[in-house]
A and B are shown apart, each in its own frame.
Chain A
Amino acid sequence: MNTYYFDYASTTPVDSLVVDKMKECLSVDGAFGNSGSRSHVFGWKAEELVEEARVNVANLINCDPREIIWTSGATESDNLAIKGAAYFYSDKGKHIITSKIEHKAVLDVCRQLESESYEVTYLEPNNDGIITPESVEAALREDTVLVSLMHINNEIGVINDIEAIGKIVKQNGSIFHVDAAQSAGKIPIDIENLEVDLMSFSAHKIYGPKGIGALYIRRKPRVRLQPLFHGGGQERGIRAGTLPTHQIVGMGEAFKLAKEKMSEDFKNLSKYRDILWNGLKDMEEVYINGAIDNTFPGIFNMSFNFVEGESLIMALKNIAVSSGSACTSASLEPSYVLRALGRKDELAHSSIRFSFGRFTKEQEVKQTVELVKDSVNKLREISPLWEMYQDGVDLDKIEWA
């Protein structure tokens, strides 16, 4: 049996159409020039390709290409957006709002700013994992300089209502940053209808290469950022560094393809998610982490009670998935995202994230249903917790040593 890849939320393979375009920007007979070279045709050619890619990225979210800045990935975009805005507007206030279930690329930046005398409010999601506009409204203060929230959560796939949240943030005069690493190219984003000032993108989550991302920075009204990198003045001084033509061209092509294939991709992902859930929902003690509604179907997070996640992943050796179990992390802590949803620790330990993508096949998902059932049943056979549950013991009442 081949190994099936269901970890698209972690990263995706580069589409072969993207690879072809990237190859044209590397060798001596290709567009290898430095887009910053203004004095010869090699530079001009590279610049042309970079700008074409910028248009492709802008088209996906319906913004002006001049509002797109290249970065090394969503982590850098998050850093640049949050630190850049917090530093530039520090005289307006030093309060930041984010949530407990953001990606570490946002949480760690906020922690850093806390050590620099900023104050951060970490919003709790509701039980489905959604950050409600009401909770944002309640946390806003006069000195709130920035609100940073993700569009689609990477672990559970829930979608935040950034349109509604944006309106509330704008009324308060704060800057609104959205991490769209998991949503760009997967669900429609129209910047014209959103009161978003800054938005982070990654190429490798949507069939582009790793090591390249972008940041949307609103021009009207203009949002200013203090740069993190200083140097040759590229990207209008906001992000210095020679532009990696092949990476940028790859991202542009990936975003162009995403726009073309979005509705088809979405339809397929919904089908796969339904096959999986319909195949497994009748098992005992199976839980969805997040919600089935209002969730991106490409990410589906479930817990199989009384079975530890890492052991399930080991049992499913021909299926590549990830787990919120502590045992798969270096920290030995179960997923902070699932804990923030109010999930009991044991359910966080028992969680598995399936994430499907463009190259997933229906047959793979159908086969996976059977493999998961079989593995969960086998692991429950050797689980003392399952035994106690079958005996009618209330596990919450036991004093564990």
Chain B
Amino acid sequence: MAYSQKVVDKFEQTLKNPKEASVGRWKPGDKDFHRVGTGIVGAPACGDVMKLQIKCENIDGTNKIVDAKFKTYGCGSAIASSGELIDMLKGKTLEEAQNISNQEIVDILELPAIKIHCSVLAEEAIHRAIDDFKSRRNND
């Protein structure tokens, strides 16, 4: 199976310059950690685990994603899908982020049919991260 050049490029950029590609994490104790939502999806036994974190700020009464980070264990297209999702998220409101569909990632990366589950994983990751953020806010 051959990947599109877009998957290959995204994968290679991520490996070459992980920081610039938003690889990383916020951990408990970090300043602003209470404004971070974390979503972990997948399982090692299935060959894919995606961890997505979003940092939100309340701007004019709405929560906007100001930054996002990820780490992914998985095939090349899972790593590329995570990176692509991160690019989409920044600057979006939680509502807009909630509405991102996996199809957008499929289209941008031209994912082959057998790799569509990678994009589904990315969509699930953002839903989890948003839920986590909301549950934290309630606890504030």
Contact = CB atoms under 8 A, between A and B. Distances in A.
B45 interface: yes
Given A308-B47, A332-B114, A383-B73, A400 B42 contact: yes
Interface in B1-52: 1, 3, 8, 11, 14-15, 18, 23, 25, 40-51
B126 interface: no
Contacts of B1: 328, 330
Please tell me the size bucket of the interface on B: 20 to 34
A401 B41 contact: yes
A379 B47 contact: no
Nearest to B16: A378
Contacts of B50: 384
B73 A327 contact: no
Interface in A370-401: 375, 378-379, 381-387, 395, 400-401
A311 B44 contact: no
A375 B76 CA distance: 13
Decide if the interface of chain A is mainly helix, strand, loop or mixed. helix
B81 interface: no
B71 interface: yes
A345 B11 contact: no
A315 interface: yes
B78 to A, nearest CB: 8
A311 B41 contact: no
A343 to B, nearest CB: 11
A311 B43 contact: no
A346 B44 contact: yes
B75 interface: yes
A308 B43 contact: no
Contact of B76 (A310, A332, A378, A401): A310
B18 A400 contact: no
Given A314-B76, A382-B71, A384-B71, A334 B47 contact: yes
Given A381-B23, A400-B43, A327 B75 contact: yes
Contacts of B91: none
A378 B43 contact: no
Nearest to A315: B15
B40 A378 contact: no
Contacts of A381: 18, 23
B79 interface: yes
Contact of B49 (A327, A378, A384): A384
A401 B44 CA distance: 10
B20 to A, nearest CB: 12
Contacts of A378: 15, 18
B114 to A, nearest CB: 7
A325 B51 CA distance: 20
Nearest to B15: A378
A381 B19 CA distance: 10
B42 A379 contact: no
A330 B112 CA distance: 12
Nearest to B76: A314
B79 to A, nearest CB: 6
A236 interface: no
Contact of B40 (A328, A332, A384): A384
Interface string B58-93: 000000000000011111101100000000000000
Contacts of B128: 401
Nearest to A330: B114
Contact of A308 (B14, B51, B71, B74): B74
A385 B73 contact: yes
A300 interface: no
Given A349-B47, A400-B49, 8 more contacts: A308-B74, A308-B75, A311-B11, A314-B75, A327-B76, A332-B114, A346-B47, A385-B44
8 contacts: A314-B11, A327-B47, A327-B74, A328-B1, A345-B45, A349-B47, A379-B15, A400-B42
Interface of A: 306-308, 310-311, 314-315, 325-328, 330, 332, 334, 344-346, 349, 375, 378-379, 381-387, 395, 400-401
Task: State the 4 A-B residue pairs at the shortest beta-carbon distance, nearest first.
Answer: A400-B43, A327-B75, A346-B44, A384-B51
